[in-house]
């Protein structure tokens, strides 16, 4: 009889406040695991050589319930025999967390052993995914699983799975164009059409031609898989759908003040006493801050029997990675009844809670567009695209009775919204992209295989 105490999830760069916040979102208790080993019935983690904790098996049951899980064998077979694999899936089907782990298993079985890198469009998404995946793999963040974002890196020479922003990988390509440290490169959120992701996609086709052993995995929303297959010479496609289809409820007319309408609807839903968390998609990050303040002020006027509304602001572009819950409430954060996640139309990757039952969508969003005539960026508030509206609906794919409340009429969806969000490479200032291509000894845009021409 032997007793082994294994400490899992040493949060190397996270403060206690951020650790509490991770518990606040996913319900983990944050306690260290103790493993009681009897005899020789001991399963070892192939990534760190230590015994699996009991938490690993609990999380494995949750992972097996994800819609992506039943495609694991198909994906591993496709990855073994093809250089490019495309995975098209609804939001919240588990592709961003599970696919990179399967790629790490692939690299573990291949010699020489190389690492896996997975790009994210949003900085908070890269950090949050690294945190969750390290927990699911039962390894320490910063060792076997790490992240690299602008001005911050949490990796080591032993890191086999690294999450990073697409801009970080693009800069790494400037010093090592063939990326020899990686056996599999995963480009996530390709449908966001950022400048860095589009450039990587074009340049990596040449890297694949030079390195036959390299694998490229593209993760995208369903509306873009045909475009990607045409761009990638009919690469194999794996399609994943959510478990449930949410009900969409549309307004009778457009609201002159969609921000206030969203907050009124939020309070009405809370008064119905129906269980479940709420996601609110607002127009801009200023609205997130304003909504956070207004909900906290309104809290004192609510009936205590309804439970508390806990606003959680999720900023897609801010440098602070995670918001901090009030200090005096950290110890009792598990007792909160309903969480309200406030984000913008592009903040869908930041929504990770499992108990979302309601989504409120204002139908408009702010985006930055470069005007070459005045040589300056302009911030435009416009209707979101139809594909973006569908992704907001897909967040409820795991909720059997989820409802999407659209603060616009149904005809607004077809008449005012474009089918897809325009590629950033067609509406952004490209000075940095030109310098990057020059550094890569590429003569011009015509020599880089973009999906859409700049």
- Cα–Cα distance between 279 and 392 in angstroms, integer? 9
Q: Which helix (H) or strand (E) is 207 found in, with range?
A: helix 195-210
Model pLDDT for residues 61-109, shown as the tens digit of each residue: 999 999 999 999 999 999 999 999 999 999 999 999 999 999 999 999 9
Averaged pLDDT, 352-372: 91
Q: Which two tokens stand for residue 97?
A: 């967390």
- Cα–Cα distance between 225 and 48 in angstroms, integer? 36
Q: Which CATH superfamily is domain 247-422 in?
A: P-loop containing nucleotide triphosphate hydrolases (3.40.50.300)
CA angle 433, 434, 439 (to 5 degrees): 95
Averaged pLDDT, 270-275: 90
- Identify which has the larger pLDDT, 161 or 37: 161
- Identify which has the larger pLDDT, 369 or 321: 369
Contact 407, 392 (CB under 8 A): no
Beta strands (DSSP E) in 180-231 are 182-187, 215-220
- Cα–Cα distance between 244 and 232 in angstroms, integer? 31
Q: Which two tokens stand for residue 170?
A: 């693009």
Averaged pLDDT, 379-387: 94
Q: What is the pLDDT of residue 31?
A: 46
Model pLDDT for residues 115-127, shown as the tens digit of each residue: 999 999 999 999 9
Q: What is the pLDDT of residue 123?
A: 95
Averaged pLDDT, 35-45: 64
Q: Count CA atoms within 13 Å of residue 184 on its CB side.
A: 31
- Cα–Cα distance between 26 and 23 in angstroms, integer? 5
Q: Which helix (H) or strand (E) is 390 found in, with range?
A: helix 386-394
pLDDT of residue 419 exceeding 60, the answer is: yes
Q: What is the pLDDT of residue 242?
A: 87
Q: What is the number of other CB atoms lying within 10 angstroms of the CB of residue 388?
A: 24
Q: Provide the sign of the torsion angle of the four alpha carbons 161, 166, 172, 173, taken in this order.
A: positive
Q: Which two tokens stand for residue 301?
A: 């006027």
Q: What is the pLDDT of residue 320?
A: 58
- Cα–Cα distance between 360 and 260 in angstroms, integer? 12
Burial of 209 per CB tally in 10 Å (0-12, 13-18, 19+): exposed
Of the pLDDT bands very low, low, confident and very high (cuts 50, 70, 90), residue 17 is very low
- Identify which has the larger pLDDT, 177 or 19: 177
Q: What is the pLDDT of residue 225?
A: 93
Model pLDDT for residues 198-236, shown as the tens digit of each residue: 999 989 999 999 999 999 999 999 999 999 999 998 899
Q: What is the pLDDT of residue 162?
A: 98
- Identify which has the larger pLDDT, 2 or 431: 431
The mean-pLDDT minimum among 87-96, 132-141, 328-337 falls in: 328-337
The mean-pLDDT minimum among 14-23, 139-148, 316-325, 369-378 falls in: 14-23
Q: What is the pLDDT of residue 442?
A: 74
pLDDT of residue 321 exceeding 80, the answer is: no
Angle, helix 195-210 to helix 166-175, in steps of 10 degrees? 40
**Going by C-beta distance under 8 Å and a sequence separation of 6 or more, which residues neighbour residue 289?**
313
pTM over 0.85: yes
The mean-pLDDT minimum among 170-179, 240-249, 445-454 falls in: 445-454
Percent of the chain with pLDDT over 70: 86
The mean-pLDDT minimum among 38-42, 239-243, 304-308, 394-398 falls in: 38-42
Q: What is the pLDDT of residue 29?
A: 44
Q: What is the pLDDT of residue 303?
A: 84
Q: What is the pLDDT of residue 436?
A: 86
- Cα–Cα distance between 454 and 450 in angstroms, integer? 8
Q: Which two tokens stand for residue 346?
A: 């592009």
For the chain, what is the mean pLDDT?
A: 86
Q: What is the pLDDT of residue 450?
A: 83
Averaged pLDDT, 261-281: 94
Contact 354, 397 (CB under 8 A): no
Pinpoint the residues of the chain covered by CATH 3.40.50.300: 68-240, 247-422
Contact 60, 72 (CB under 8 A): no
Cα–Cα distances (Å) from 240 to 59, 67, 71, 359, 397, in that order, read 21, 7, 8, 21, 11
pLDDT of residue 9 exceeding 80, the answer is: no
pLDDT of residue 189 exceeding 60, the answer is: yes
- Cα–Cα distance between 342 and 327 in angstroms, integer? 20
Of the pLDDT bands very low, low, confident and very high (cuts 50, 70, 90), residue 430 is confident
User: The domain 68-240: what is its CATH number?
Assistant: 3.40.50.300
Q: What is the pLDDT of residue 446?
A: 64
Q: What is the pLDDT of residue 251?
A: 94
Q: What is the pLDDT of residue 37?
A: 45
pLDDT of residue 262 exceeding 50, the answer is: yes
Averaged pLDDT, 372-385: 91
Residue 212 DSSP symbol: T
pLDDT of residue 344 exceeding 60, the answer is: yes
């Amino acid at each position: 009889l032997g007793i082994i105490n294994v400490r899992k999830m040493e949060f190397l760069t996270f403060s206690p406040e951020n650790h509490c916040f991770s518990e606040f979102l996913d319900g983990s208790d944050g306690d260290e695991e103790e493993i009681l080993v009897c005899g020789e019935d001991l399963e070892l983690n192939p990534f760190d050589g230590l015994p699996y904790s009991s938490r690993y098996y609990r999380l494995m049951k949750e992972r097996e319930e994800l819609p992506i899980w039943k495609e694991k064998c198909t994906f591993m077979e496709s990855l073994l025999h093809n250089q490019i694999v495309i995975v098209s899936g609804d939001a919240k089907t588990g592709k961003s967390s599970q696919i990179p782990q399967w790629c790490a298993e692939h690299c573990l079985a291949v010699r020489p052993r190389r690492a896996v890198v997975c790009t994210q469009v949003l900085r908070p998404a890269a950090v949050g995914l690294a945190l969750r995946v390290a927990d699911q793999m039962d390894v320490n963040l910063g060792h076997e699983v790490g992240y690299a974002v602008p001005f911050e890196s949490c990796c080591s020479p032993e890191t086999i799975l690294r999450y990073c922003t697409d801009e970080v990988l693009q800069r790494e390509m400037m010093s090592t164009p063939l990326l020899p440290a990686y056996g599999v490169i995963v480009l996530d959120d390709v449908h966001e059409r950022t400048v860095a992701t589009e450039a990587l996609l074009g340049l990596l086709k040449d890297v694949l031609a030079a390195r036959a052993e390299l694998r490229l995995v593209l993760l995208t929303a369903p509306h873009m898989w045909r475009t990607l297959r045409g761009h990638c010479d009919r690469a194999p496609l794996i399609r994943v759908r959510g478990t449930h289809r949410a009900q969409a409820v549309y307004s009778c007319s457009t609201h002159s003040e969609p921000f206030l309408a969203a907050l009124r609807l939020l309070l009405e839903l809370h008064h119905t006493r129906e269980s479940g968390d709420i996601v609110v998609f607002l127009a801009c990050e200023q609205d997130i801050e304003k909504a956070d303040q207004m909900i906290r002020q309104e809290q004192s006027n609510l009936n205590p029997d309804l439970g508390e509304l806990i606003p959680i602001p999720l900023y897609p572009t801010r440098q602070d990675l995670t918001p901090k819950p009030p200090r005096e409430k950290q110890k009792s954060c598990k007792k909160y009844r309903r969480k309200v996640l406030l984000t913008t139309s592009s903040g869908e990757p930041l929504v990770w809670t499992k108990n979302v039952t309601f989504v409120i969508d204002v139908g408009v969003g702010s985006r930055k567009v470069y005007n070459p005539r005045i040589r300056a960026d302009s911030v435009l508030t416009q209707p979101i695209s139809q594909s973006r509206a569908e992704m907001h609906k897909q967040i409820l794919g795991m909720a059997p009775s989820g409802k999407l409340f659209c603060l616009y009429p149904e005809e607004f969806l077809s008449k005012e919204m474009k089918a897809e969000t325009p590629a950033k490479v067609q509406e952004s200032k490209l000075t940095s992209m030109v310098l990057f291509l020059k550094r890569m000894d590429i003569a011009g845009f015509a020599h880089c295989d973009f999906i859409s021409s700049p």
